[in-house]
Chain A
Amino acid sequence: MSVVNRIRILVISFVLLSLNQVAVSAESAPRIQTWKTDNGAKVLYVYAPQLPMVDLRIVFDAGSARDGKQAGLANMTSTMLSKGAGDWDTDALAERFDSVGAVFSTSAMRDMASLSLRSLNDQKLLDKAVLTLQTVLTQPRFDNKELARMRRQMLIALKAQLQSPGAIANKMFYRALYGRHPYASPSLGTKDSIKTITRKDLRAFYKRYYVAGNALIAIVGDVDLRQAKQLANKLIGKLPKGQPAPALAPVAALKKAEVLRKTYPSTQTHVLVGQPGLRRGDADYFALYVGNHILGGSGFGSRIMKEIREKRGLAYSSYSYFIPMRGLGPFQMGLQTSNDQRDEALALLNKILRNFIKEGPTEKEMQQAIKNITGGFPLRIDSNKDIIGYIAMIGFYDLPLNYLETFNANVEAVTAAKVQDAFRRRIHPDRLVTVLVGGNAPQKNVK
């Protein structure tokens, strides 16, 4: 899979994560068991015997928030893990996973750096896949030749972003939202920063962050508790204990409104509006989550979709969402519209938000949202893929183990007044970042 393609997919799955995985809850939540390995890694495990397969995910607090002065360092480290490890070069590693039908991938987001493996639970096949994963985890080579190749790949991936007005807007948005905070660091790095990343930097980053004390292991599948414990030990037992990553600096609130414009030769303008918004485990989490569902998080029927798309046909996609992270992740509203409709759509988006904060949701909207969220609970956990996503999140962000069981009750406890109160305190329409990337159209009065 090419870097260019992989990155496109990553960006998309990130959005999905925020839309779907934000919410979960009750009746028949999977039973999560947890323990620590001898060297201090936290393990979360769900026994799922229905299919003869197993999903493994190892997550380190080693995302791009840890880049330091070298943007792209976390992503490059994560990418380089599978480019040669132990006795095996890149080709041999790929061959080992493919030959047993295993699916392996790595990813680095802002908070998390993850390694994921899906394999059949047939002992011979699983053993080969797990030994390969263990080697990738514990003995990466960070080979210089491969590093040089991956640097060139990353430069192409960066160029690919430059021919996507949506990707350009997104980068500008993060930069404006986070200023000097590590969340501002572009995950892929920059043209200049990528060139400075050396083998020594990768090794130092790996030694600091890829340690048991900074790791979370999630296991879902047809392996019993004893096997799960063996798996966890085998995978990570050889890593030093190390230290958890230090706390990130708090995200500063925006001091004033800012409008960023970039001309791009596209027929549409990409519009993003937002501010730092929500943490995992935040006291306002459920109020903001349910409120956003009504504002623009639930597609058809949400206020933004109704006004922008259904009533006026201004855009195909229009939304709002929170991306809850370790620190305050973004609150973001967005749409794409013909350049000549840009000002009208932006004004409307801002008006919808202001009205929502001023008036709060109606009782009817609250009832509908709560019914939709809680009624859909079984759909959120109907596959191993969903379940591993949830338990990795619960473990990584130290959410309570009964997060899923209590989810529906937490949603039902939200009232219109709580939504309005939370939005009033947390979202500031007079201090938002606005990013506009698209073709030139005469600028009308944007208020």
Chain B
Amino acid sequence: MQRCIPMLRMMFLGLFVFTGISSVALAADGATGSKNTVHEFTLKNGLKLLVKEDHRAPVVVSQIWYKVGSSYEHNGTTGVSHVLEHMMFKGTKKHGPGEFSKIIAENGGRENAFTGRDYTAYFQQLEKSRLPISFELEADRMRNLTLPADQFKKELAVVIEERRMRTEDKPDALVYEKFNAAAWVSSPYHQPIIGWMNDLHNLKVGDLRPWYARWYAPNNATLVVAGDVKADDVLKLAKKYFADIPPSDLQPLKPRIEAPQKGPRRITVRVPAKLPYLLMGYKVPVLKTAKQDWEPYALEVLAGIISGGNSARFPKELVRKQQIAVSADAGYNLYARQADLFLLDATPAAGHSVAELEKAILAQLQRLKDQPVTTQELARIKAQVVAGKVYERDSIFYQAMQMGTLETVGLGWQRMDEYADKVRAITAEQVQQVAKKYLRENSLTVAVLEPQPLAKTPVASHSH
């Protein structure tokens, strides 16, 4: 949830997986940690409620997760989920534009929202007695958004500026966007979360209305509450505010499965920049799609072996020993809704080409296919997982995020508790097996940034 600065209405732009890997690898239930006690309820209208009691501090976080995101969208109106997320702050019949934020602020709260490929979520963090305020407002905007045209026009301009800031003017982010578009042909992971610029320019408020009506319903939502609360009290509150909202008639999503890749794909991105950049991805299963449940956990361990910590293989071999890279990482998200990519990204050290770097990375991958990882390496991953399970309890927000993600992609929050045991059960042979099975050239996509000169840029200065 990487640190979207003072970022209001933030959005996850895939690149966070690279920094996220260590925290994912560190997220587990350890011997030193206690079991999670999550209370699960379902209201009659289909709203799912998950409550995690945590009495360390007199605070509460409330998050509502909708099963909709960029992977639900279609070409021509990409970005509609994220624009709608912005518009969720622009007023209902009862509360005018901006009032939601104002009420939360007056109550000492923090609030925001984020859109991903597989979800859209809204959250408030408050002193514990103020939870009803958040429920009242959130229940109101689940159905009663007004979507005024003048507000839409301004907010769309904001989103276009957001796209310029996050993607257009950032060389690595541009590469990532074009890389996904090349790697995925028929899977909706082809589309950027924020949407294509063309689609944004042509988006109408009329495109938002059916999207809102279709997805913003109690039977398409999960309400996650964590903090200094009692589960039964939260259930009573949830019933009070959400029980009267009628469910929608939700049609099942049509599958949009990627057409099989029949050979490696390569793209080059030429933009003004100073540093070359290499991004590689192999098609891999995730927990949702895996025929064998252990495989995603083996891929998770594989990512940890490659770059989970400063003693992992890439920093040790590529950055320090061969000194061919200044940075090199692996990333994998086992909780995606659809089959995903096992990612590798790297920046070459001065005097080395991207081609040399790619060769060195491939040699490292070959080694993982040829030889089992060492006992010491596996022990390290397991120690990190045990510790990480304790560390993550320092943030109730993070715990709520995990529950919300798992529930929203259809895996169920219980997977959170299984994580550590599943990771610890992985053997060196299994890591070798997934490396052999999935890190194959025929399912590889490679993107290379070829920096183009920045124009001559003198500094002009004057005083007045």
Per-residue CB proximity of B349-368 to A under 8 Å, as 1/0?
11000000000000000000
Nearest-neighbor residue (CB-CB) of B325 within chain A:
A2
Tell me if B161 and A94 are in contact (CB < 8 A): no
The answer on a CB contact under 8 Å between A94 and B105 is: no
Bound CA span A300–B109, Å: 12
Q: Is the CB of A378 within 8 A of B127?
A: yes
Q: Which residues of chain B are near A149, meaning CB under 8 Å?
A: 320, 323
B214 at the interface (CB under 8 A from A): no
Of B97, B311, B390, which contacts A51 at CB under 8 A? Answer: B390
CB of A4 within 8 A of chain B? yes
B383 touches A378 (CB 8 A): no
A313, B157: Cβ atoms under 8 Å? yes
A101 and B311 contact, CB distance less than 8 A:
no
Chain A residues lying within 8 Å of B17, measured Cβ to Cβ, are none
A122 neighbours in B (Cβ, 8 Å): 32
Which residue in chain B gives the minimum CB-CB distance to A172? B459
B319 an interface residue at 8 Å Cβ cutoff?
Answer: yes
Q: Which residues of chain B are within 8 angstroms of A337 by Cβ–Cβ distance?
A: 161
A313 to chain B, nearest CB (A): 3
B259 on interface, CB distance cutoff 8 Å: no
| A163, B59: Cα distance in complex, Å | 41
How far is the CB of B148 from the nearest CB of chain A, in Å?
13
- Check if B463 sits within 8 Å of A258, measured CB to CB: yes
Contact B383 A2 (CB under 8 A): no
Interface range for B: 35 or more
B110 to chain A: which residues have CB within 8 Å? 376, 379
> Given A1-B315, A101-B383, A152-B350, do A316 and B161 touch, yes or no (CB 8 Å)?
yes
A34 on interface, CB distance cutoff 8 Å: no
Q: Does A420 contact B (CB under 8 A)?
A: no
| B76 proximal to A (CB < 8 A) | no
Contacts of A159 in B (CB 8 A): 274-275
In the complex, what distance in Å separates the CA atom of A309 from the CA atom of B59? 30
Query: What residues on B are CB-neighbors of A13 within 8 Å?
Result: 3
| Chain B 263-305 interface residues, beta-carbon cutoff 8 Å to A | 272-275
Q: A383 near B: Cβ within 8 Å?
A: yes
| Cα–Cα, bound, A300→B451 (Å) | 37
Chain B residues closer than 8 Å to A381, beta-carbon distance: 57
Encoded as 1 (CB less than 8 Å from any B CB) or 0, chain A from 367 to 397 comes to 0100111111111011111000000000000
Q: Is B19 within 8 A of A317, CB to CB? A: no
In the assembled complex, the Cα of A3 lies from the Cα of B161 at a distance in Å of: 29
Q: How far is the CB of B444 from chain A (nearest CB, A)?
A: 22
A305, B393: Cα distance in complex, Å:
34
> Is there contact, CB below 8 Å, between B56 and A382?
yes
Query: Which residues of chain B from 156 to 207 have any CB-CB distance to chain A below 8 Å in the complex?
Result: 156-159, 161-162, 164-165, 168-171
Contact indicator B98/A94 (Cβ below 8 Å): no
Q: How far is the CA of A314 from the CA of B162 in the complex (A)?
A: 10
Q: Which of A4, A53, A100, A375 contacts B127 (CB 8 A)?
A: A375
Is the C-beta of B247 less than 8 angstroms from some C-beta in chain A? no
Does A9 count as interface, using CB distance less than 8 angstroms? yes
In the docked arrangement, what's the CA distance between A26 and B229, Å? 21
Residue from A262, A368, A385 in contact with B394 in the complex, judged by beta carbons closer than 8 Å: A385
Q: Is the CB of A248 closer than 8 A to any CB of chain B?
A: no
Q: Is the pair B459, A51 in contact by a Cβ cutoff of 8 Å?
A: no
Contact A383 B311 (CB under 8 A): no
- Proximity string of chain A (338-368) to chain B, C-beta cutoff 8 Å, 1 when within and 0 when not: 1000000000000000000000000000001
Residue A268, interface by CB 8 Å: yes
Tell me the A223-279 residues at the B interface (CB within 8 Å).
256-268
**A160 contacts the other chain (Cβ, under 8 Å)?**
yes
- Residue of A at shortest CB range from B384? A101
Complex: A163 Cα to B275 Cα, angstroms? 8
Residues of A within 8 A of B393 (CB): 51
What residues on B are CB-neighbors of A262 within 8 Å?
457-460
Contact, CB under 8 Å: A377 / B384: no
B162 to chain A, nearest CB (A): 4
C-alpha spacing A332/B309, complex, angstroms: 35
Is B5 a contact partner of A317 (Cβ separation < 8 A)? yes
Task: Mark interface residues in B205-244 (1 if CB within 8 Å of A CB, else 0).
Answer: 0000000000000000000000000000000000000000
Knowing A9-B3, A383-B395, say if A315 contacts B327 (CB, 8 Å): no
A97:B127 contact, CB within 8 angstroms? no
Tell me whether B460 and A261 are in contact (CB under 8 A).
yes
A89 to chain B, nearest CB (A): 9
Q: How far is the CB of B310 from chain A (nearest CB, A)?
A: 4
Question: Is B154 a contact of A312 with CB atoms below 8 Å?
Answer: yes
Judging by beta carbons under 8 Å apart, are B165 and A268 in contact?
yes
**Complex contact A160–B387 (CB within 8 A):** no
Give which listed residue, A165, A259, A336, contacts B462 with CB less than 8 A.
A259
Give 6 A-B pairs besides A159-B275, A306-B98 with Cβ atoms closer than 8 angstroms.
Answer: A3-B326, A94-B309, A98-B384, A149-B323, A301-B98, A301-B102
A-B contact pairs, 15 of them (CB 8 A): A2-B329, A50-B56, A53-B390, A100-B387, A256-B464, A261-B461, A300-B101, A300-B102, A312-B154, A314-B161, A319-B6, A336-B165, A338-B161, A376-B109, A382-B59
B residues neighboring A (CB under 8 Å): 3, 5-8, 18-19, 26, 32-33, 56-59, 89, 97-98, 101-102, 105-110, 125-128, 130, 153-159, 161-162, 164-165, 168-171, 272-275, 308-312, 315-316, 319-320, 323, 325-329, 347, 349-350, 376, 379-380, 383-388, 390-391, 393-396, 451, 454-455, 457-464
